[in-house]
Amino acid sequence: MDPIANPYAPGAGTPPPELAGRDLLLETARIATARIRAGRPAKSLLLVGLRGVGKTVLLDRMRDEAESAGLQTLRIEAPEARSLPAILAPQLRQALLRLSRNEQAREFGHRALRALAGFAKSLKVKYQDIEVGFDFEPEPGLADNGDLEHDLQALLEAAGIAAQQAGTALVLFVDELQYVEEEQLAALITALHRTSQRQLPVVLIGAGLPQLPGRMGRAKSYAERLFDYPDVGPLDPNAARLAIEKPAASQGVSFEPLALQRIVQETHGYPYFLQEWGKHIWDVASASPITEGDVERGAREAIAALDESFFRVRFDRLTPAEKRYLRAMAEIGPGPHRSGDVAEVLGRKVTTFGPVRSQLIAKGMIWSPSHGDTAFTVPMFDAFMKRIMPGDEWRSG
């Protein structure tokens, strides 16, 4: 069929044509932000799930809806190599400049900008990657102690007061939150706790891999009371079918029931895989309705595309020892697996793999559902590892 009319949209954070099965999560975010704006208590939200479940897409949709409701937002992604102050400061500056345009909030917005100047200048020695423009000179004694936990509290308090005076709320959208270092996570949690205690309209909506709740709890023991952690998993069969059927129907194309069932089974309902399968099946199909044979041919193309992009980009970041560890996990199956079982496949003591396992967790490749267990953070990565490292040569590495 015509590839130009192909309605499917696989990509990193690319919005799907039909955001199926996520209405409850969107409504949860809407209620939380509306309550915060109204001066009522609400927990911050941290979306937790594997790669490919659509957390980034959800964050962006939630942000769009928050901005449509008149809320002030900032959107950042936490990369592995940068500090939280460095990625937060420029986006917060833009939000504060917007708040300062409000006549009722101008004075408070300017004070928050002075706090930001003190914050950035005082922390520049420790976090040398901070780069942000200064609109005002720092106010002595305001967010300028050089201690991240203390200064971030003062900064978000000043920003929250400005938002309150403007009759709005400040919503921080932070993706890949699991990459923020624990000390910096602790400072962020403390600052949000303080704004909550003062009933200021500041809220965090973040997203991260399944290890995020554990990291938050280790950073601050009260984090479990400050945040809700909605699980973002694969779509149920009805939502998965809708995600495939509805975009095609908009182009006058339908699926045979067995073809649709096959797509849902092979993708396990993961939103990114649904889009990848849909795109390639559309391209190989010659007419409507799309058949099970079309699905079989398109699935081969989809898996090849995933191997060269979604899976390969993660594989190429691994050391040889890390690759062997993941290949051993794949040998046992999708997981989760006991760490001892993985070591047994490799013929060595479990204690020898502690550093490798820790590095894989730090890289976001695996996580620990419970003590001693190990699981992939990327769905279907076990099958990819068997394709990319076939045979038994990897055992002797």
Q: What is the pLDDT of residues 28-81, one digit of tens each?
A: 999 999 999 999 999 999 999 999 999 999 999 999 999 999 999 999 999 888
d(CA 292, CA 309): 25
Confidence of residue 237 (pLDDT cuts 50, 70, 90): very high
Domain assignment present for 1: no
- Least Cα distance to 88 among 195, 206, 193 occurs for 206
> Where residue 325 sits, what CATH number does that domain have?
1.10.10.10
* 27 and 108 assigned to the same domain: yes
**Is residue 167 domain-resident?**
yes
Same domain, 322 and 388: yes
pLDDT band at 257 (very low <50, low <70, confident <90, very high): very high
Q: Residue 273: which CATH number?
A: 1.10.8
Asked if residue 100 and residue 249 are part of one domain, the reply reads no
List strands edge to edge, sheet with 44-48. Answer: 72-77, 170-175, 202-208, 44-48, 227-228
CA angle 270, 271, 273 (to 5 degrees): 70
Once rounded to an integer, what is the mean pLDDT over residues 74-96? 94
Is residue 18 a part of any domain in this protein?
A: no
Residue 270: give the domain boundaries. 236-314
Do the Cβ atoms of 104 and 165 come closer than 8 Å?
yes
CB 190 within 8 A of CB 159: no
pTM: 0.93
Q: Convert the pLDDT of each residue in 378-395 to its tens digit.
A: 999 999 999 999 988 898
Residues 45 and 130 in one domain: yes
Q: How far apart are CA 219 and CA 309, in angstroms?
A: 34
Domain boundary among 262, 296, 314: 314
Compute the 3-state secondary structure of the chain and give helix, strand, coil in percent, each to the nearest 5: 55, 10, 35
> Does residue 378 form part of some domain?
yes
Q: Which of 264, 290, 314 is the last residue of a domain?
A: 314
User: How confident is the prediction for the chain on average, in pLDDT?
Assistant: 95
DSSP 8-state class, residue 168: -
Distance CA 87, CA 78 (A): 7
Given the DSSP bridges, would you call strands 170-175 and 72-77 parallel, antiparallel or unpaired? parallel
The reply to whether 294 and 339 lie within a common domain is no
Could you list the beta-strand ranges (E) of the chain. 44-48, 72-77, 170-175, 202-208, 227-228, 337-338, 366-367, 373-376
Report, as an integer, the average pLDDT of 102-128.
96
Residue 12 is which amino acid?
A
Same domain, 329 and 248: no
Same structural domain, 91 and 210:
yes
Same domain, 30 and 153: yes
Report the C-alpha gap between 64 and 6 in whole angstroms. Answer: 25
Do 141 and 63 have their domain in common? yes
Query: Looking at the domain assignment, is residue 183 inside a domain?
Result: yes
User: What is the pLDDT at residue 13?
Assistant: 78
The CA distance from 210 to 85, in Å, is: 24
Burial class (CB in 10 A: 0-12, 13-18, 19+), 287: exposed
99-109, pLDDT tens digit by residue?
A: 999 999 999 99
**The domain that contains 128 carries what CATH number?**
3.40.50.300
Report which of residues 226 and 397 the model is more confident about: 226
C-alpha 255: how far from chain center: 32
242 & 302 share domain: yes
pLDDT band for 145, please (50, 70, 90 cuts): very high
What pLDDT, on the 0 to 100 scale, is given for residue 78?
A: 93
> Of 209, 228, 247, which one is at a domain's C-terminal end?
228
Phi-psi sector, 147: left (phi>0), alpha (psi -120 to 50), beta:
beta
Tell whether 151 is covered by a domain.
yes
Residue 203, beta-bridge partner list = 171
99 and 164 share one domain: yes
pLDDT at 146 over 70: yes
- 87 within domain boundaries: yes
Name the domain count of the chain. 3
Asked if residue 3 is part of any domain, the answer here is no
Cα–Cα nearest to 191, from 228, 160, 215, 225:
160
Give, rounded to a whole angstrom, the gap between the first and last alpha carbons of the chain.
Answer: 46
Kindly report the backbone phi and psi dihedral angles of residue 227, in degrees, each rounded to the nearest multiple of 5, phi listed first: -125, 150
CB count within 10 Å of CB 364 equals: 19
For residue 246, is pLDDT > 70?
A: yes
Residues 120, 248 within the same domain: no
